[in-house]
Amino acid sequence: MSHAAQGQTQASASNPSTLAEPSSVIVNKSAHEFDKTLFDSLLSRRFFFAPSFEIYGGCAGFFDYGPPGSALQANILEVWRKHFIIEEDMLELDTTIMTLADVLKTSGHVDKFTDWMVKDLKTGEIFRADHLVEAVLEARLKGNQEARGQAAAPPAAEDDKKKKKKKVVKSTAVKLEDETVKEYEYLLAQIDNYTGEELGDIIKKHNIVNPETGNELSQPQEFNLMFQSEIGPTGQVKGYLRPETAQGHFINFQRLLEFNNGRVPFASAQIGRSFRNEISPRQGLLRVREFTMAEIEHYVDPKDKSHPRFVDTKDVQLQLLPKDVQEQGETTMTHMTVGAAVGQKIVDNETLGYFLGRVQLFLEKIGIDPKKLRCRQHMSNEMAHYASDCWDFEIKSSYGWIECVGCADRSAYDLTVHSNKTKQKLVVKESLTEPNVYQKLDIQLVAKPFGMKFKKDAKAVEAAIRGFSQEELAKFKFELDEKKEASVKIEGGAEHIVTNDIIKIEEITVTEHIREYTPNVIEPSFGIGRILYSLLEHSYWARESDVARGVLSLPPLVAPIKCLIVPLSANPEFTPLINEISAKLRRAGVASRVDASGASIGKRYARNDELGTPYGCTIDFASVANGTLTLRERDTTDQLIGKIDDVIAVTVALSNSQMKWSEACQKLEKYSGTQEIE
């Protein structure tokens, strides 16, 4: 919680969402403290999302999106598609969720995508081992401080980051030895680095038990986080539900490259569902077993990570938390432009910097509060097995700072392992304008005597020699030149002696017109559910008059419905106007909804404040008599009035973020009627 204040100087010049902000803000959005209970109740009541299989008792880690949640998600994804895929000509993909086990074996997920779990030996309850150790030790440290009458120290960066994941354990005021406090602090700082065995030792040494039952715990067991299934009826073809969409891009690399006429850099992009079989998910949408991702894989020449459009993002402001700062136990954020961060080598290269800037712009565009957004570099001990550098966009919510977008440089890892495994080339061929000329040792065999000498092993001997690196070959040649023979080990281990009459190794000049290389991959990967949840928290506030009157100030760009059409009553006289206005808004591509229910106008607007609907048009008898319409703005509840077509034109412009409310106030008259009954 201590970090929000530090971010308040963040420039908001680059925040496109300010367009939607009414000019005459007579709204006190911070009149009430954020109330999680009321907020959760709103999301459930308005069916933004709800536990899946709710009438069957639910199942942790699964959520269904109702109409406003689905529309909000669809709108976020549409902005994402335009901002990234269309704007940058990315190649969109749609690959399968079910993935052949071989693919994920090669990528490392079968072996390394695991967590350690421990069981309560009596009840069988299962915990994530690292989370449990962490929670228990932190509770003991807190209890120690209470016993010593100390105020709790502000959490360090790492603790703060992790608080979100763990089970909360109640502290009891028990004093600890100074030695013990030091040991606990050391263990907590390293908690991400322990193997299962080490976690087991810590649990034993420090008498960690199930905090609720007091029962002993099992040895930590490894648990793979992928959902497994069988393909077809034989039981012999294993598949996993993908834990990320990325592998679907990589194994299609050669086709994508061909589609792009063989040229690099280019990017592929995919929006789709992924799965992680979490051991014990808590925290609503932030830790789920099934989620929508949007992933970009940008393929780039490892020798040239410049970006042609870098200039477009170099002035974007970021709030950075680099690794060296964290490694000193600090959490001080630095405000810096992308250009400066790349210039000072805090961010490694232009392409990575470019994407950090683009991601920042995207998140601001959909309405994420830039003060609650930071860009944290991974420390070396927390990097995924495939990454060579990684920055996370973390968004602050009531759960703390949560990773919502990861920007990793996956280097050539994935393409290399898939290529090695399948023996398929996953490389770029570049025609060189200046040929590459260099010297190398070349092997020439005297075919007949070579074959006669080694018989059935001849091929293996040749393969072994041709498999030498240039250094090994130089050594081999040296030995041959010296002793007229040299020994070589073939596959299987047998050794053979090669004599200098059947082989010639000479330095030759090579002129290459084509360069072949495995591109590096820069990957921005978006967790859409986490972004959506954070956005809802950032948008939520309650009217000064009543803490229960919640409002979601979603930008029109992503609001589920842009305009509510409210007839004063169920009088059939209003029907033709309702149909006319609906049709005109629909034709202009503005999502609207009619609320002709019997509730009072005030209640209907309050309901739509909770749904985040930015505008409302009221049809009354004046509409029928004089052809006028009133237009209400959600945040201020201000109302304007004008001729129907003028009001529609203004509503369309507002909904498309082409007009600000202050401009609308110039175009239409202020309305001072008393239609809105509170």
Q: Which residue has the tokens 């000479």?
A: 506
For a copy of itself, the binding residue among 1, 11, 13, 60 (CB under 8 A) is 60
Q: Is 572 one of the binding residues for a copy of itself (CB under 8 A)?
A: no
CB under 8 Å to 194, separation ≥6 — which residues?
130, 202
In the three-class reduction of DSSP (H, G, I as helix; E, B as strand; rest coil), residue 565 is classed as: strand
Q: Is 219 in the site for a copy of itself (CB under 8 A)?
A: no
User: Are the beta carbons of 490 and 437 closer than 8 angstroms?
Assistant: no
CB of residue 428 to a copy of itself, shortest distance in Å: 15
Q: b/e for 428-440, b at 16 or more Cβ within 10 A?
A: beeeeeeeeeeee
Which one among 41, 597, 600, 626 touches a copy of itself, defined by CB under 8 A?
Answer: 597
Asked if 289 interacts with a copy of itself (CB under 8 A), we say: yes
Site for a copy of itself in 241-260 (CB under 8 A): 241, 248, 251-252, 254-256, 258-259
96 near a copy of itself (CB under 8 A)? yes
Q: Which two tokens stand for residue 568?
A: 């004063």
Look at residue 26 and give its three-state secondary structure.
coil
- Is residue 365 a contact residue for a copy of itself (CB under 8 A)? no
Q: Which is nearer to a copy of itself, 124 or 493 (CB)?
A: 124
What is the smallest separation between the CB atom of 520 and a copy of itself, expressed in angstroms? 20
Q: Where are the alpha helices (DSSP H) in 344-457?
A: 350-366, 413-422, 447-454
588 contacts a copy of itself (rule: CB under 8 A): no
Q: Give whichever of 264 and 379 is closer to a copy of itself, judged by the CB atom.
A: 264
The residue count for binding a copy of itself (CB under 8 A) is: 83
Q: Residue from 3, 46, 166, 410 that binds a copy of itself (CB under 8 A)? A: 46
Binding flag, residue 100, a copy of itself (CB under 8 A): yes
Tell me how far apart the alpha carbons of residues 339 and 345 are, in angstroms, rounded to a whole number.
10
Does residue 113 bind a copy of itself (CB under 8 A)?
A: no
For residues 171 and 93, give the distance between their C-alpha atoms in angstroms, rounded to a whole number. Answer: 49
Give the separation between CA 527 and CA 286, rounded to whole angstroms: 9
- Does the footprint of a copy of itself cover residue 578 (CB under 8 A)? no
Based on the shown chain and the rule CB under 8 A, indicate whether residue 47 belongs to the binding site for a copy of itself.
Answer: yes
Integer Cα distance of 197 and 219 in angstroms: 8
* Binding residues among 115-174 for a copy of itself as defined by CB under 8 A: 117, 124, 126
H-run or E-run covering 343:
helix 338-343
- C-alpha distances (whole Å) from 498 to each of 429, 464, 483, 501 are 36, 12, 11, 9
DSSP 388: S
* Contact between 95 and 245 (Cβ < 8 Å): yes
Sole binder of a copy of itself in the list 1, 11, 13, 86 (CB under 8 A): 86
Based on the shown chain and the rule CB under 8 A, indicate whether residue 619 belongs to the binding site for a copy of itself: no
Closest distance to a copy of itself from the beta carbon of 519 (Å): 16
- Of the pair 122, 489, the CB lying nearest a copy of itself is at 122
Q: Which stretch binds a copy of itself (CB under 8 A): 288-296, 331-339, 441-449, 541-549?
A: 288-296
Q: Residue 490: what residue type?
A: I
102 binds a copy of itself (CB under 8 A): yes
**In whole angstroms, what is the distance from residue 274 CA to residue 97 CA?**
7
DSSP string, 574-620: GHHHHHHHHHHHHHTT--EEE--SSS-HHHHHHHHHHTT--EEEEE-
Question: Taking CB under 8 A as the rule, does residue 313 contact a copy of itself?
Answer: no
Helix (H) or strand (E) holding 114: strand 114-119
The stretch near a copy of itself (CB under 8 A) out of 285-293, 389-397, 452-460, 505-513 is 285-293
Q: Helices (DSSP H) in 24-66: which residue ranges?
A: 36-45
Q: Does 310 help bind a copy of itself (rule: CB under 8 A)?
A: no
Output 524 or 560, the one with its CB closest to a copy of itself.
560
Report if residue 424 touches a copy of itself, rule: CB under 8 A. Answer: yes
Type of residue at 228: Q
The residue among 52 and 334 lying less far from a copy of itself, judged by its C-beta, is 52
Q: For a copy of itself, which is the closer residue by CB, 341 or 561? A: 561
Q: Any contact of residue 89 with a copy of itself (CB under 8 A)?
A: yes
Assign 397 to helix, strand or coil.
Answer: strand
8 Å CB contact between 360 and 15: no
Q: Which of 4, 30, 36, 54 touches a copy of itself by CB under 8 A?
A: 54
In the complex with a copy of itself, the residue whose CB is nearer, 550 or 642, is 550
Q: Closest approach of Cβ 558 to a copy of itself, in Å?
A: 15
Please tell me whether residue 280 binds a copy of itself under the rule CB under 8 A.
yes
**Spatial CA neighbour of 19 closest among 667, 664, 659:** 659
> In terms of CB distance, is 215 or 636 closer to a copy of itself?
215
Binding residues for a copy of itself restricted to 260-279, rule: CB under 8 A: 261, 263, 272-273, 275, 277-279
When binding is defined by CB under 8 A, the residue of 65, 299, 476, 541 that contacts a copy of itself is: 65
Closer CB to a copy of itself, residue 215 or residue 254? 254
Q: How far is CA 584 from CA 170, 297, 591, 642, 644, in A?
A: 58, 40, 11, 16, 11
- Binder of a copy of itself out of 40, 92, 327, 544 (CB under 8 A): 92
Report the SS3 class of residue 290. strand
How far apart, in whole angstroms, are the C-alpha atoms of residue 300 and residue 308?
12
Angle at 314 between CA 311 and CA 316, to 5 degrees: 135
Q: What is the DSSP letter of 236?
A: -
Q: How far is the CB of 43 from a copy of itself (least distance, A)?
A: 12
Which is nearer to a copy of itself, 6 or 52 (by Cβ)? Answer: 52
**387 in contact with a copy of itself (CB under 8 A):** no
Burial 604-620 (b: 16+ CB within 10 A, else e): bbbbbbbbbbbbbbbbb
Contact map string, positions 223 to 242, toward a copy of itself, x by CB under 8 A: x---xxxxxxxx--x-x-x-
Binding-site member from 591, 624, 649, 653 for a copy of itself (CB under 8 A): 591
